[in-house]
Amino acid sequence: MADLTTSSSGAGGGVGSLGASSSPIRIKSPIFLAELRKIFGTLTKTDTLPVANFKAFLTNTQKVKLYDDRSGNDPGNNQTGFAGFVSHIFHPSQTASAEKLLADNSNITFDEFVAYFSAPTNNALALPDPKTKDWNQPLSAYFISSSHNTYLTGHQLYGTSTTDGYKSVLRRGCRCIEIDVWDGDDGEPEVFHGYTLTKEISFRDVCKAVAKYSFSGEGTCWEGGAGEGPVIISLECHAGPEQQEKMVKIMKEEWRDMLVQGIKPEEVTRMPSPMELRRKILVKAKYLPPPPPALPRTRTDSIPRQVRRAPTRRSSSSSSSESELEEIARKANKTKPPKTKVTRTLSELGIYCSAHHFPSKEPNPFLHSTSQIPNHCYSFSEKVFATLHQQHADHIFLHNKEYLMRVYPFGLRFSSSNGDPTTFWRRGCQLVALNWQKCDQGMMLNEGMFAGEGGYVLKPKGYRPGDVEGPVKKTLDLTIEFLAAAELPMPEDDDTEKGFKPYVKVELHVEEASGPKGKTKAKRGTSCSWGGEKVVFSNVRNVVDKLGFVR
């Protein structure tokens, strides 16, 4: 059954408030109530359920740890703790129901039993406890929720660029966003997708949106405040020196004390933790080595606008097809754009995310001295990463224990589709950037990884800085029991229930992208019952904590 107390603002990891709502949320669907009545009937032969039986159900079936040591001898498992647990089962307006659980000789009604299933404590997701989550490890010890081409709201070639893209992903828990910056005609930097027909937006407007929404998200697990994990700005800068200087000025003006600055990238000796960077904005910028003494700085002209832009809507033929646009993009993808040299002032903002040049010509680039710099961050397309992984799999994994790595979608994913992010998480990549514009398998898995986590998930043991032992792998036996579904949406090409035969498909993403699969029998109609039908997965091997997903 669907959880009725939390809501997602879209794929990506944002989870609605887990606090009490203004009124109790009730399960009203007759088909759901019928299934719950069956469960209730297995626990009692009367119209009420003894509290002792309900506690046994919570412990044995729901696997809930009850804080119910009435002696008070265990400070972590006492009457006060149990009262706190009970307060989460029922809405504040249901105090009488809550009080019954605190009395061993009481009974609860069927309505009170149903109330438990619509309570935050019964969330299908094992949401983290803000009081116990560890925010004090180096940045490289976390998987970080990341977005690609954040400014786009649709297609990669002609989708709309808007600041709403930043507002949306930041409020949904994303902590690494991308900004593609180019020279603007009026002397002000602009943001858009180069070599396409996407419309440009003001860099300053983007920075304003980042300032406004970075730390105002919902459902994150920082105790005492929502959306407080540091935000990383992945800058793709194609602007010339003059507008780069304007970019730096704008970022300092709009982000003020939130912007991390004050030391030079060369001075960094260790990576800070998310807690140390709470409510801060970090910039990922290209690294520019300090100039040799007495050597003048060189000037590199910006990329001419006619080179970096596809024909505009005004100048291109109205009959231009999507295939023609894709061909333009393919040619641009094969042709490397002119190099734009980063300015000193912009490079110096890349303090903890310094985008160093990857030493690809070395026999093993991951053993090169550049790959040992504490604050370096390599970025690869998924296609380049796959090639590197074939050659240096072990060294990539070891590298990613200590240092940051970002992977982003291949440039020819025109429809804003995504690959399987677990492929890169399993290799230790912290920043797996996805196209949040599309709710596909990749974004569903991203939702599963980051739901309620505040955009940061501590890597499992074996993946973190200093870990000598490899990841702990377990064997899993999983049984999923299906009760019912209600008010399912009809397919777009179907307008009657007669031919609608829904079923549930289950996939495990455990070790590789293609994992065990199972499905229920097909039923008929938009509301249907499976009557406890089970899908069983037995002896599933090599399950790593936090890297096993059910979809």
Q: Which residues are designated catalytic? A: 148, 193
Place of tokens 């209600």: 486
Q: Residue 336 corresponds to which tokens in the numbers above?
A: 């490397």
Whole-number Å distance between alpha carbons of 53 and 518: 33
- DSSP code, position 93: G
Whole-number Å distance between alpha carbons of 43 and 49: 7
Q: Tell how strand 176-182 and strand 231-237 pair up.
A: parallel
Q: Which helix (H) or strand (E) holds 334?
A: helix 322-334
Whole-number Å distance between alpha carbons of 279 and 489: 40
Place of tokens 């983007």: 206
Q: Which helix (H) or strand (E) holds 82?
A: helix 79-89
> Beta strands of 409-447 (E only): which ranges?
431-434
Whole-number Å distance between alpha carbons of 62 and 132: 22
- DSSP code, position 78: B
3-state secondary structure of 235: strand
- Could you tell me the CA-to-CA distances from 503 to 67, 130, 369, 506 in Å, in that order? 38, 36, 54, 10
Q: Quickly list H helices, 95-213.
A: 95-101, 110-117, 164-171, 203-213
> Beta strands of 197-301 (E only): which ranges?
201-202, 231-237, 281-286
Whole-number Å distance between alpha carbons of 38 and 258: 54
3-state secondary structure of 435: coil
Contacts of 482 (CB under 8 A, 6+ apart): 504, 520, 530, 532, 533, 534, 535
* Radius of gyration over every alpha carbon of the chain, rounded to an integer in angstroms: 26
Burial class (CB in 10 A: 0-12, 13-18, 19+), 550: middle
Contacts of 364 (CB under 8 A, 6+ apart): 392, 395
Residue 420 and residue 509 in contact, taking contact as beta carbons nearer than 8 Å: yes
- Neighbouring CB atoms inside 10 A of 544's CB total 20
Place of tokens 């459902």: 219
Largest CA distance in the chain: 91
